[in-house]
Structure 1
Amino acid sequence: MKDSLHLLRFIEDLLIEEDGQSLSDIQRHIIEELLNGKTYKEIADSYGYDEKHIGDVSRNKIFKVLSKQLGLEEKELNKSNFRWNIEKAVNSQLFTILNKNINYCVKSPQPDTTKPIENKEKSPSETSYHDLSLAPKINRNFCDRISELEILTQRILIEKKPLISVSGLSGIGKTTLVRHFVELNLEKFEVIIWQNLKIFNCLDTIITDIFTKINTDFILNDHDKLTLFLKLLQRKKCLIIFDNVQELFSEGELAGQYQTKHKKYQDFFSIITNEIEHQSSLILISQERCSEMYYSDEKLDLLELQGLNNRAILNNLGSEDEESWLKVVQLYERNLFYLKDIAVLIQDVYHGCVGEFLQEENIVITAKIKESLTTIIKRLSPIEKQIIQSLINLKKDCSRNELKLSLDLSADDLIKGLQSLQKRYLLTKIEESEILFNLSPVFKKYIKDTGI
């Protein structure tokens, strides 16, 4: 990740390249504040300008010229994705610094990500291979996850962690975050493989597929596939992403319990983390923590995503009635997946009037939100369901002792159940004179509507 001063100088060089003129004070102020995620209104208030003028300067001068210089489509660059696009350009191989003069190239056709790409820094027998065919498309309206991107960069590229897990509630932005990290660092790895375990999760077949596509001198056989895969991670600098890791876990049991048929993954993750030296990294994306994530040592990192900051969400939604929207953002726990669907509902049913929507007495659960939460409910153990029902019945933040008195569970089962619900990001924990537990408002409303 680049600091804002580095990015500002990069932008200034691009703008001067276009018309030979230095930045005006207002242009510089706008760029600095956009890099920090500020809105037009906040910039206008800070420097005493009209909000419309700030928007006009941004669109007609800054975005227009930068889009041309970076080879972006019209309106592809905006205030919501401004910093991300600039950082991507700085890290791109399209830009080469020669004698402190920057040569800018027009946008090139995107390479086929499933083809081996010759790596000129290696011998002819060594090739680079990037397979992102199962990765999601890049979201150009990427919300502000700068600090999380910096953490991934620090852990993987600098500290060279062998395994890092990105986890959090469904829709919180885990996959989007990792996809942008990959896009920014394509040239840093010889091999990049993205596997979506919701689509395909047989480890043996995945390994066979990788070796079939990568040009290696390994002779693959059924008896030592995993051993050969580990040797590949030692020989080449690989980045392997496993998305939807929760698909490896059993339904109806406590969080993070592997299905019998997927125990080999557990061994694989353990070996990668603790037993061999190698130059590669694995990223696990999951809605719940597994034992490897929870009982972590110094070699493993767990990045747990929370809801986005209010400003990033408001920028993404393009909202104007900020005060009312802030109430909606808090109501739906700063979860962009929830909020995007609620924004559509407000437009369709309330004619875009957020204030009218807020007059509803209860939280509205849309069909998409319900579908997402139903999938989570199916994974719960009987112990977790009892705890959830007790929290619904007690109608307040509850201590562990209060829950123990209201439930027919052993102390051991209660502790395991509370821990499992936290691993699934369904439980809120309030630390006061004693630790209290409750459910998130959206999840609680869903349970009240549908039962458990």
Structure 2
Amino acid sequence: MPTLRQRCRKVAILTQQGFQKLQTAQSQTNLWNDFTKSCTLAALSEQTGLSTHTLSKVHARKKGVDLQTLARYFNGFNLTLEPDDYMPPRGHEETTILVPSTPENEALVTAFPPQNHVVSWGLAPDVSMFCGRTTELETLQQWVLEDRCRLITLFGIVGIGKTWLATKLAEQIQPEFKVLVWRSLQPISRSHSPLPFGDFLDDLINNLTGESHPSIPENINAKIRKLMDILRRKRCLLILDNVESILPSQIPKIASINDYDYEAYSQLLKHLAQAKHQSCVILTSQVEPTEIQPFIGENLGVHSLGVRGLQVADIQQMLNAKGKFQGTDDEWNRLVEYYDGNPLILALVATTIQRFFDSSLTNFFNHKTLISEDIGELLDEQLSALSVPAQQIIKALATQNAPLSFSQLRSHLSHSISGNTLLGTLEFLKARALVDTTSALFSLHPLLIHYLTS
């Protein structure tokens, strides 16, 4: 059996010769922009499989990256990384790793660290037609790769694109992790309960370890400790989609979830947020989980991002995949503004425009059929089971022409609603992305206003 030896993994920066070699190869591809004399980071990321963050480091040539990254970059343009293409960075960084001492590895170890990546995409969507979100992706990459956040929540109204954003991010930063596991917590139908917590943990542990075993005969606490140990030992990227499915206020009344299972899911979220580990867990949810809110902070390793709608150009690009639509600039602006840039709802609307209005935005607006039953069901799901104070707040904000301050909003409500109740209900609505807060002013998303007043 080969023995293990310590080796230093070299990191390097490109020499001017290596950088020029890449520039020349890129200029001969359709990624090259003749006006800017360069390729965009997003295009290079698609070509090479490297994150835009990593590509920025390579181009800056100040901080070292491992040689495998440089080789992968060169391979993306059918180039071979030669010794003259790279050099040690100032301050020469090294990482000690353990590798088997075999003849093959003796030749490889100085240039490339061993690869042992485990990837399980589960039911992740195909995001090859992803549009927009440049700013959000840059922010999230900063949080994951620079700030080393251990937990990030993407929350927002139904259909806004949380799942796609998380999946696209995972694709871009995948090379920076040893293990990637993507899982949805959404039941197969409204009449079904979420996956029992023990089964969920077994699935995660098996996939994060890269092993396949039957149900692990241990108690829940032992399984949680095993999961956290895995996240501490190696750098894993774990995406948990539709987390609202295991939050008590979001579970449909026709479904039942064992109280013990809910409490276990809740405790796991707390552990993922507060325990120190080197992995990154990304949650998507219609609700910002209350379990993690105490741990959110700029320097606390836990962040939360409210996902907003797409811009007009992004929606036009997205709908081009469905077909050609006729409309003026004003009509496109009206369409996207009316539906708050919601990708899912606009995709439903686009299908209606194609089938019944000859792909004409003009015909669609003339018939004033802006909220279909499908869209109404999606929004009803978001608004269901609101308390009486929450309903009063929603109604008050929907009937105003401008955002309201706390005191102005209170003046539009029943005197029976105390200040503490109002504050708590606003926090509840904001966590569900139903109420927007800007400069201490409260408002509803335009789509909700249109739906509630139509």
TM-score normalised by L of structure 1: 0.69
Which whole-Å deviations, capped at 9, do the CAs of 1:121-145 have from their partners, x for residues lacking one? 9669995321112222x22221111
1:146 and 1:17 map into 2 onto residues whose CA distance is 22
What are structure 2's unaligned runs of at least 5 residues?
1-17, 51-67, 81-96, 102-113, 188-193, 252-257
Deviation at 1:265, TM superposition (A): 2.8
- Seen in structure 2, the aligned counterparts of structure 1 residues 128 and 353 have a Cα distance that, compared at 3 Å, is closer
Determine the structure 2 residue equivalent to 1:63: none
2:362 and 2:73 map into 1 onto residues whose CA distance is 55
Deviation at 1:233, TM superposition (A): 0.9
Asked if the contact 1:7–1:86 (Cα under 8 Å) also holds between the matched residues in 2, the reply is no
2:383 and 2:236 map into 1 onto residues whose CA distance is 35
Asked if the contact 2:206–2:212 (Cα under 8 Å) also holds between the matched residues in 1, the reply is no
Determine the structure 1 residue equivalent to 2:285: 286
SS of the counterpart of 1:195?
strand
Deviation at 1:347, TM superposition (A): 2.2
Deviation at 1:176, TM superposition (A): 0.5
1:412 and 1:98 map into 2 onto residues whose CA distance is 56
Amino acid in structure 2 at the alignment position of 1:439: L
Amino acid in structure 2 at the alignment position of 1:339: L
SS of the counterpart of 1:28?
coil
Determine the structure 2 residue equivalent to 1:135: 124
1:372 aligns with 2:378: yes
Amino acid in structure 2 at the alignment position of 1:443: L
Asked if the contact 1:135–1:179 (Cα under 8 Å) also holds between the matched residues in 2, the reply is yes
Q: Within 5 Å, which residues of 2 pair with 1:238-387?
A: 238-251=236-249, 261-275=261-275, 277-295=276-294, 296-297=296-297, 298-318=300-320, 321-323=327-329, 324-359=331-366, 364-387=370-393
1:184 aligns with 2:192: no
Deviation at 1:336, TM superposition (A): 1.6
Q: 1:418 aligns with which of 426, 435, 445?
A: 426
2:76 and 2:117 map into 1 onto residues whose CA distance is 29
Amino acid in structure 1 at the alignment position of 2:445: S
Asked if the contact 1:95–1:104 (Cα under 8 Å) also holds between the matched residues in 2, the reply is no
- Seen in structure 2, the aligned counterparts of structure 1 residues 190 and 122 have a Cα distance that, compared at 3 Å, is farther
Q: 1:210 aligns with which of 204, 215, 234?
A: 204
Q: Within 5 Å, which residues of 2 pair with 1:62-211?
A: 84=42, 86-91=44-49, 96=71, 102-103=77-78, 127-136=116-125, 138-199=126-187, 200-211=194-205
2:171 and 2:73 map into 1 onto residues whose CA distance is 24
Determine the structure 2 residue equivalent to 1:234: 232
Deviation at 1:249, TM superposition (A): 1.7
Q: 1:13 aligns with which of 17, 25, 30?
A: 25
Asked if the contact 2:399–2:453 (Cα under 8 Å) also holds between the matched residues in 1, the reply is no
Determine the structure 2 residue equivalent to 1:64: none
Amino acid in structure 1 at the alignment position of 2:373: A
SS of the counterpart of 1:224?
helix
Asked if the contact 2:270–2:292 (Cα under 8 Å) also holds between the matched residues in 1, the reply is no
Superposition RMSD in Å: 3.9
2:120 and 2:75 map into 1 onto residues whose CA distance is 34
- Seen in structure 2, the aligned counterparts of structure 1 residues 157 and 171 have a Cα distance that, compared at 3 Å, is same
1:221 aligns with 2:218: yes
Asked if the contact 1:163–1:283 (Cα under 8 Å) also holds between the matched residues in 2, the reply is yes
- Seen in structure 2, the aligned counterparts of structure 1 residues 273 and 8 have a Cα distance that, compared at 3 Å, is farther
SS of the counterpart of 1:193?
strand
- Seen in structure 2, the aligned counterparts of structure 1 residues 365 and 17 have a Cα distance that, compared at 3 Å, is closer
1:176 and 1:8 map into 2 onto residues whose CA distance is 35
- Seen in structure 2, the aligned counterparts of structure 1 residues 122 and 146 have a Cα distance that, compared at 3 Å, is farther
Q: Give the number of equivalent residue pairs.
A: 366
Q: Within 5 Å, which residues of 2 pair with 1:373-412?
A: 373-392=379-398, 397-405=403-411, 406-407=413-414, 408-412=416-420
Identity percentage of aligned residues: 23
Asked if the contact 2:242–2:285 (Cα under 8 Å) also holds between the matched residues in 1, the reply is yes
2:316 and 2:217 map into 1 onto residues whose CA distance is 51
1:233 and 1:311 map into 2 onto residues whose CA distance is 39
What are structure 1's unaligned runs of at least 5 residues?
1-5, 36-82, 106-119
1:351 and 1:203 map into 2 onto residues whose CA distance is 48
Deviation at 1:384, TM superposition (A): 1.1
Amino acid in structure 2 at the alignment position of 1:185: I
Asked if the contact 1:8–1:31 (Cα under 8 Å) also holds between the matched residues in 2, the reply is no
SS of the counterpart of 2:231?
helix
